[in-house]
A and B are shown apart, each in its own frame.
Chain A
Amino acid sequence: MDRPQGRLNGRVAVVTGGTKGIGQGIVLRFIKEGASVVYCSRTAENDAENRVLLAAIQGAAARAHFIAADVGDRQQMRELVETAAHRFGRLDIVVNNAQGIAPLRGIEEKPDSDYAMTLATGFYHSLWTTQAAVPHMRRAGGGRIINFSSHWNIWGQPYSSDYNIVKAANEALTRSAAREFGADNITVNCIIPAGASYAYGVWKRMNPSPAAETERTVPMRRMGDCERDIAGAVLGLVSQNGRFITGQVFCVDGGTWAAAPVQQHEAGTDIHEGRQQRATAVA
């Protein structure tokens, strides 16, 4: 990772789910590159680590603003966006990183409530922030929106049909928004990460051997570092370099998309909270 180059000086960004893993990496990278960032997580306690990390970055205190919010709530997502626009006077960038995750269950067993929760915290939150942000971006003369998808959608990963469906919806939203807002100089792209996310970290601690096998299947032979690798690609797409790139889905995954599937799970496990881990080795 190169030294910060002021690539986002004067820009204002919203990042959902900014206190752990990939979202945290994006918040830190944006702040270091000069942006002002409003980010959220479910509780104020979740922000404890960021407070320490941000205190070590010169000038960050005035440019970083945390809000406790439920990304599955329409009103709270609108308020998140409006807070950023009012507090910092403009809005240029929205990164829809957050995603609630339900326990892994087969399609026959998965309750409707899982689909509803996953859709609200993944797809709808991305839609709501987009709807709230676009008028501000138009006033700023353009903007950048980044959504998130997953390899699991491509691969039809078993036992996470709700999650896979939400990620497919995010990719479709990305393309539609790119076409609807292109004339406003707003680009919309989607990231499929293979990063050392919070959920991946939990899974790796519980399953060191499958995790090592997973990382051997990545052409770059490692999982992505959240701040250097995943946030790096997000930074490129939201900076000047990405000004004519829109409507695309980027696998920021060390080449995994072109090689082999990773992270084989079994039904009954809960990768988000780390309970009942019974994952098997990759075939």
Chain B
Amino acid sequence: MGQIAGQVAIVTGAASEVAQGIARRFAREGAIVVLIDKDASEATRVANAIALSGGRAEAMCVDLARDGAAAEIAQAVAHAHGGIDILVNAAHAALAWMPLADKKEADFAAAFHDVVMPTVAAMRAARPHMLRRGGGRIVNVGSIYGATANEGITDAITMDGALASLTRSAGIEWARDNILVNYLQPAVPDIAVFKSYIAERGAIVDHLIRNTPMRRLADPLEDIGGAAMFLVSDEACFIVGHKVFADGGQHLVAAAFEPGAAR
């Protein structure tokens, strides 16, 4: 028994802790989860952990930026599990903090190739399988950084805008088929990578928490996974093309990421 019992969910970019929180949440609510990443070890580790705790999950090692990869995965998942109900596109490029004047134009092209195009490909590959099920849910995962803008990551902010616009326009095109596409923007999660950052730059993290209305970092399973569950469950059955922040209200606070602007 669970909110999405028996449904088949694909989660891409599964090496990240945000994607893993979402995958674990879906498994806890009864879904069969397929974790996809080009780095097999992390996705496999999480799939095994889910299986050990009684859930159903498997990992597939695929680079979605490769031509035709998305269609192969969709076909394989549908063949193995009878269909596809849910797709979460959570693949992200690593952030390189650098002024726009110093970034290479190739950085933008690479970000588009590595993040936006695999999302387009995965959505299009999943669509026919969702149509056969009478509908489906797609969650494209962006970032809190896209709420406004941050200096030094123009390429990532540009991709965030592209994904949000893709979500909105695919949303209104596919809504009539009951395939609902929405956009999830999680806040900085309370994760191992960030904890090492905390150790080095505690003042910045204190500032971030103080400027988050709910006064804490995001928990990948309960906070970000919960918001993703909202979007793929019967609860969000009339929400289309929408942005949802899983951020404890951080998007409201312009000063959250800028210590210099603090009160």
**A residues near B, CB below 8 A?**
1-2, 5, 175, 178-179, 182-183, 185, 187, 194, 219-221, 224, 228-230, 232-233, 235-237, 239-248, 250-255, 257-259
Contact = CB atoms under 8 A, between A and B. Distances in A.
Contacts of A221: 175-176
Contact of B235 (A185, A224, A235, A246): A235
Given A219-B176, A220-B176, A230-B238, A248 B245 contact: yes
Which of B222, B236, B238, B249 has the most chain A CB atoms inside 10 A of its CB? Answer: B238
Counting from the closest, the 6 A-B pairs by CB-CB distance are A182-B213, A236-B235, A255-B240, A244-B223, A229-B238, A219-B175
Given A5-B3, A233-B236, A247-B251, A220 B213 contact: no
B212 interface: yes
Interface of B: 1, 3, 168-169, 171-173, 175-176, 178, 187, 212-215, 218-219, 222-224, 226-227, 229-230, 233-242, 244-249, 251-253
A191 to B, nearest CB: 10
Contacts of A219: 171-173, 175-176, 240-241
Nearest to B217: A244
Nearest to B222: A243
A220 B172 CA distance: 8
B36 to A, nearest CB: 24
B24 to A, nearest CB: 14
A2 B176 CA distance: 20
A235 B238 CA distance: 13
Contacts of B242: 250-251, 257
B230 to A, nearest CB: 4
B214 A183 contact: yes
Given A182-B215, A183-B213, A244 B247 contact: yes
Contacts of A228: 234, 237-238
A232 B232 CA distance: 12
Which of A187, A235, A248, A250 has the most chain B CB atoms inside 10 A of its CB? Answer: A248
A218 to B, nearest CB: 8
B240 A258 contact: yes
B239 A251 contact: yes
B230 A179 contact: no
Contacts, number: 132
Nearest to B3: A5
A252 B240 CA distance: 8
A241 B139 CA distance: 15
A183 B242 CA distance: 26
Contacts of A247: 213, 249, 251-252
A178 to B, nearest CB: 5
Contact of A236 (B169, B236, B249, B252): B236
A243 B223 contact: yes
Nearest to B252: A247
A52 B67 CA distance: 59
Contact of A253 (B212, B223, B238, B246): B238
A246 B249 contact: yes
A241 B232 CA distance: 11
A160 to B, nearest CB: 23
Nearest to B187: A244
Contacts of A235: 235
A235 to B, nearest CB: 5
Which of B168, B173, B224, B248 has the most chain A CB atoms inside 10 A of its CB? Answer: B248
B171 A241 contact: no
A258 B168 contact: yes
A258 B234 CA distance: 21
Contacts of B240: 219-220, 253-255, 258
B25 to A, nearest CB: 9
Contacts of A194: 238
Nearest to A179: B213
Contacts of B222: 240, 243-244
A239 B3 CA distance: 12
22 contacts: A175-B252, A178-B249, A182-B213, A185-B214, A219-B240, A220-B175, A240-B226, A241-B227, A241-B229, A241-B230, A242-B226, A243-B226, A244-B223, A244-B226, A244-B247, A244-B248, A246-B213, A247-B251, A248-B244, A254-B175, A258-B169, A258-B172
